[in-house]
């Protein structure tokens, strides 16, 4: 399977924030220089994202264009954000909360969520976003793990979910409800904000003070609570510039929900730090709405995910035709491996390729990326960003061994970048296990090529061992979706007496295709031609959808548990599925 390298024209490399020359010299001091620091000393994410822009005379600039589900459109300037986050911080203080207290959110992508996130940081408190679709149990577990002191939510979500678990969380001091009224025992945010002072001097937090707790997606098991500090903003500033091409005034749309780390690091912090205008869409994925948003809002930078890209591909090119995407300058993708076909599809439909980049909740920000100046090898995650040292390692009896070019091993990073997690809450052993011999171990398998590009192979847990071969599911899945009928694929290994394991694929079909024995044979034949008989799936089964986390990641462990009749494990982040 060969995909041609996409060579960037000189105009693109010249326009890029990070040039090849920069790449070798750019360091964390350059990233720090993108920030102001607190006037009296110290560092605070909310000051860098909001207040300093107003102090520097940019209060009138649009910070956020909010698109409501019902068609409402609201614009907030940086001055508006400064005032509202100040009022919110004052409300927290009035409710008896102290710096260091943990403030959770449980709500959809409404303006109040963004105000709450930044207002909490401004008050020197710790922000923890929860995905609004969680049920009462996952909410309770996460509030217990993080010892929630306050939560911001809506009346409906409170009544449906939170009221049931509230009494089980002894640390909880305040429940804030967006809107003008609130159930008994809760604070209505509308009147409280109106009565609060519009001024608040940003808390004098230090670089190492705790700022955020993010729960991982739960793809491989029970979600972990990763702790991040204010200094993470140094990496958000660096990567916003180097990986995502942010500049003041650019129109930027990150489609991730702040319930996941992408939606906070790159859906709130990095864009505001760079004084861009963020698009926030309250609605879920809807093809026509997305195409209209890209066109009508004049989106210049777009950061999205492979699942969404595959849904667009599934709908076909015709659905995109007739729209004007000429404002687009840069498109990034994260969260899952991006199939090479998706990269190329971007080029054909939007006139630009999608730029895949890799990172995790634990890393707090982008680590490996295809940047604007770089030639793209479709299917590769790109190069480590400046300041990041990545390697491919293998565990041996004498410790870790770095593997040479071309060999598959665990993707590891040299610790020390500013947005590295500082702990897994209440899991010191697990945290300690993530480090060895001066490396942070990601749990992902990858390979590096002669040009230094990194290629994702699979999660360590998902690797398939068949007749002496090691097979990463991503390679097989990418080959499968190249078949005209296949929209999505999830690949696992199932036990086999002779081969150890054999490859089994689950696929969801494109519109216009129906499951049949003939189609199954045809897809297997296609895979055999692309991959060879040892790697191609022995069996292909059809599913309406594949089980995914709410952040859009295929849950291969669930396919496997169901296949083998094993316990399903933690499925608190599972999106409802029909498989
Ligand atoms: P958990 O750790 O709870 O199992 P998770 O690892 O899915 O969940 P996240 O931190 O949200 O939680 O996701 C990070 C993981 O997503 C990475 O470790 C990797 O497996 C996958 N990922 C992210 N970006 C990419 C990418 N560009 N290519 C391939 N995989 C990616
Ligand atoms: Mg993980």
pLDDT of residue 436: 96
Closest to 121 in 3D by CA, of 233, 12, 2: 233
**Residues 387, 492: one domain?**
no
> Residues 225, 363: one domain?
yes
Q: Does a structural domain hold residue 5?
A: no
How far is the centre of ligand 1, averaged over its atoms, from the C-alpha of 169 (Å)? 30
Convert 52-68 to b/e letters by CB count within 10 Å (16 or more is b).
bbbeeebbebbbbbbbe
Could you tell me if residue 112 is inside a domain?
Answer: yes
Q: State the pTM of this model.
A: 0.95
Mark which of 448, 472, 507 sits at the end of a domain. 448
Percent of the chain topping pLDDT 90: 92
Judgement on whether residues 136 and 202 belong to the same structural domain of the protein? yes
> Do 390 and 537 sit in the same domain of this protein?
no
Sign for the CA dihedral angle at 534, 535, 536, 537 comes to positive
List pLDDT tens digits, range 375-419: 999 999 999 999 999 999 999 999 999 999 999 999 999 999 999
Kindly state the helix (H) or strand (E) to which residue 565 belongs, with its residue range: none
pLDDT band for position 223 (50/70/90)?
confident
Q: What is the mean pLDDT of residues 33-59?
A: 98
Tell me, yes or no, whether 118 lies in a domain: yes
Residue pair 230/241 in contact (Cβ under 8 Å)? The answer is no
Which residue range(s) make up the domain with 355? Answer: 10-448
Give the pLDDT of residue 578.
52
**Atom 12 (ligand 1): residue with closest C-alpha?**
217
- What does the pLDDT average to over 535-541? 95
Count how many domains the chain has.
Answer: 2
- pLDDT value, residue 105: 98
Is residue 454 in some structural domain? no
Phi, psi of 170 (to 5 degrees): -65, -25
Cα of 439 vs its chain's centroid, Å: 23
Q: Report the candidate in 340, 347, 453, 463 with the shortest Cα–Cα distance to residue 394.
A: 463
Asked whether residue 435 falls in the same domain as residue 467, the answer is: no
Structure tokens at 553: 């990641």
Q: Is the domain of 151 the same as that of 177?
A: yes
Please report which confidence band the pLDDT of residue 577 belongs to, taking 50, 70 and 90 as the band edges.
low
Note whether 387 and 239 are within 8 A (CB). no
| Among candidate residues 448, 477, 506, the one where a domain is terminated | 448
Asked if residue 308 is part of any domain, the answer here is: yes
**Which residue has a Cα nearest atom 24 of ligand 1?**
335
Based on the fold, state whether residues 166 and 196 are members of the same structural domain.
yes
3 occurs within a structural domain: no
User: At a CB cut-off of 8 Å and minimum separation 6, what does 564 contact?
Assistant: 494, 495
Whether 148 and 183 map to the same domain: the answer is yes
Asked if 114 and 165 sit in the same domain, the reply is yes
CATH number at residue 507: 3.30.300.30
Residue 263 and residue 268: Cα distance in Å, rounded?
7
pLDDT (tens digit per residue) in 137-166: 999 999 999 999 999 999 999 999 999 899
pLDDT given at position 171? 98
User: Final residue of a domain: which of 448, 473, 491?
Assistant: 448
Which of 264, 333, 336, 355 best tests ligand 1's pocket when mutated (most atoms within 8 Å of CB)?
336
Q: What would the pLDDT profile of 474-532 be if each residue is shown by its tens digit?
A: 999 999 999 999 999 999 999 998 889 999 999 999 999 999 999 999 999 999 999 98
Quote the ligand 2 centre to 277 CA distance (angstroms). Answer: 30
pLDDT at 252 over 90: yes
Question: Which one, of 402, 378, 371, 365, lies nearest residue 232 by Cα?
Answer: 365
Mean pLDDT (the chain) is 96
**Pocket of ligand 1 from Cβ distances under 6 Å:** 216-221, 223, 260, 334-337, 356-358, 360-361, 381, 442, 444, 456, 459, 551, 553
Measured in Å, residue 263 CA sits from the centre of ligand 2 at 16
Q: How far is the CA of 220 from the centre of ligand 2 (A)?
A: 7
The answer as to whether 453 is a domain residue is: no
C-alpha dist (Å) from residue 434 to 68, 411, 412, 442 = 41, 12, 10, 7
Residues 467 and 444 in one domain: no
State yes or no: pLDDT of 181 exceeds 70. Answer: yes
- How many angstroms is it from 218 CA to the middle of ligand 1? 9
Residue 4 lies in a domain: no
Average pLDDT over residues 192-207: 98
Same domain, 105 and 63: yes
Pair 354, 487 in one domain: no
CATH number at residue 306: 3.40.50.12780
Question: Residues 334-378: pLDDT tens digits?
Answer: 999 999 999 999 999 999 999 999 999 999 999 999 999 999 999
Pairwise CA distance, residues 210 & 102, whole Å = 10
């Amino acid at each position: 399977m060969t995909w041609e390298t996409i060579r960037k024209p000189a105009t693109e490399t010249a326009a890029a924030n990070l040039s090849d020359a920069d790449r070798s010299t750019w360091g964390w001091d350059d990233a720090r220089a993108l920030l102001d620091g607190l006037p009296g000393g110290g560092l605070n994410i909310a000051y860098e994202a909001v207040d300093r822009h107003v102090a520097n005379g940019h209060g009138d600039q649009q910070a956020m264009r909010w698109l409501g589900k019902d068609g409402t459109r609201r614009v907030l300037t940086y001055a508006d954000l400064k005032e509202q986050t100040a009022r919110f911080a004052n409300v927290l203080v009035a409710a008896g909360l102290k710096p260091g207290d943990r403030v959770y959110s449980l709500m959809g992508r409404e303006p109040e969520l963004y105000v709450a996130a930044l207002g909490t940081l401004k008050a020197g408190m710790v922000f923890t976003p929860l995905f609004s679709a969680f049920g009462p149990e996952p909410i309770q577990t996460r509030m217990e793990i993080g010892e929630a002191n306050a939560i911001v939510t809506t009346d409906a979500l409170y009544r449906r979910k939170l009221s049931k678990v509230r009494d089980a969380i002894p640390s909880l001091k305040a429940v804030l409800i967006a809107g003008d009224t609130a159930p008994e025992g809760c604070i209505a945010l509308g009147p409280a904000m109106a009565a609060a002072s519009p001024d608040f001097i940003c808390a004098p937090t230090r670089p190492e003070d705790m700022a955020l707790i993010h729960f991982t997606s739960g793809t491989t098991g029970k979600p972990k609570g990763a702790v991040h500090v204010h200094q993470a903003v140094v990496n958000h500033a660096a990567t916003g510039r180097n990986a995502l091409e942010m500049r003041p005034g650019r129109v930027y749309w990150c489609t991730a929900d702040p319930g996941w780390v992408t939606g906070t690091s790159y859906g709130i912090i990095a864009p505001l730090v760079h004084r861009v205008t963020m698009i926030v869409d309250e609605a879920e994925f809807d093809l026509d709405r997305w195409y209209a948003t890209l066109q009508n809002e004049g989106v210049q930078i777009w950061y999205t995910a492979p699942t969404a890209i595959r849904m667009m591909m599934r709908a076909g090119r015709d659905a995109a035709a007739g729209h004007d995407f000429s404002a687009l300058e840069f498109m990034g993708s994260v969260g899952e491996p991006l199939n090479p076909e998706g990269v190329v599809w971007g080029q054909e439909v939007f006139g630009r390729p999608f730029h895949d980049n890799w990172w995790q909740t634990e890393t707090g920000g982008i680590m490996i990326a295809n940047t604007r100046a770089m030639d793209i090898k479709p299917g590769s995650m790109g190069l480590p960003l400046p300041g990041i040292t990545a390697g491919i390692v293998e565990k041996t009896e004498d410790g870790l061994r770095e593997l040479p070019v071309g060999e598959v091993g665990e993707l590891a990073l040299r610790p020390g970048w500013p947005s590295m997690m500082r702990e897994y809450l209440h899991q010191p052993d697990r945290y300690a296990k993530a480090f060895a011999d001066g490396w942070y171990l990601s749990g992902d398998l990858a390979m590096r090529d002669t040009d230094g590009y990194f290629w994702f192979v699979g999660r360590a847990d998902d690797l398939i061992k068949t007749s002496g071969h090691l097979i990463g599911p991503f390679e097989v899945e990418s080959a499968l979706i190249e078949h005209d009928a296949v929209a999505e694929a999830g690949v696992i290994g199932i036990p086999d007496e002779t081969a150890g394991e054999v490859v089994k694929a689950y696929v969801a079909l494109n519109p216009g295709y129906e499951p049949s024995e003939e189609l199954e044979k045809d897809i297997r034949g296609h895979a055999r031609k692309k991959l060879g008989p040892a790697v191609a799936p022995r069996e292909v089964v059809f599913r309406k959808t594949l089980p995914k986390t709410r952040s859009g990641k295929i849950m291969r462990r669930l396919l496997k548990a169901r296949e083998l009749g094993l316990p399903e494990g933690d499925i608190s982040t599972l999106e409802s599925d029909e498989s």
